[in-house]
Structures are given as structure tokens and as C-alpha cells.
Amino acid sequence: MNRLARLLTWILKAAVFFALFAFALNNQQGATVHLLFGHQWRAPMTLIVLVAFGIGLIVGVLGMLPGWWSRRHGRTPMPGPVPAPSEPSVPEPPHGV
């Protein structure tokens, strides 16, 4: 069963790769990105999408870096498990209802 799951995972990965590759081949026409102060950048659509993805990846990593840094150096302890409530939060209905 484990081998079947691995095979299905690889088939799914290959399907996603080929779908993205077909998308890249179909979007080879040029596009223009209008920047500030009248500047513009002309490039193939796939390159623009790749650059936008890379910028988003860098911004995301930089946004998470302070939290990783503080946990690594022990300044902020990792949050522990949430304690279970001692009594139910929903009141019990009266008898006979």
C-alpha cells in the first residue's frame, strides 16, 4: 500500500509539473509591467510570473524571520499545549426538558 501511495504522489507531482510547463509554453507572448515614474519593463509573461512568485517568497520568508530568530535564540518560548477546560462551557438543560 505504501508503494502505491508513493506512485500516486509521483504521478500527481508529474501532472502538476506538466500542467505548469504547458502554461509556460502557452504564455510566451510579451507583456509590459508599468512601474513608477513612467518606467516600464517588457518581458515574457512566464518570466514576470516567476519574478512575482520569487518576490512573494522572499517577502514571506523575511516576514517570518523575526519569529524564527527569537525562538532559535530562546527569547520567546514556544507556546505550550492549550489546557482542557475543567467544566463544560454549555450549561446542562434542566431535568424534564
Residues present in the chain in total: 97
Please report which confidence band the pLDDT of residue 92 belongs to, taking 50, 70 and 90 as the band edges. confident
Verdict on whether the full-model pTM lies above 0.75: no
Question: Per-residue pLDDT tens for 12-69?
Answer: 999 999 998 888 888 788 989 998 999 999 998 888 888 999 999 999 999 999 888 8
Which residues are within 8 A (CB) of 24 and not within 5 positions of it... i.e. 6 or more apart?
A: 46
Which residues are within 8 A (CB) of 51 and not within 5 positions of it... i.e. 6 or more apart?
A: 43
How far apart, in whole angstroms, are the C-alpha atoms of residue 65 and residue 44? 32
Grid cell locating 91: 450549561
More confident: 78 or 3: 3
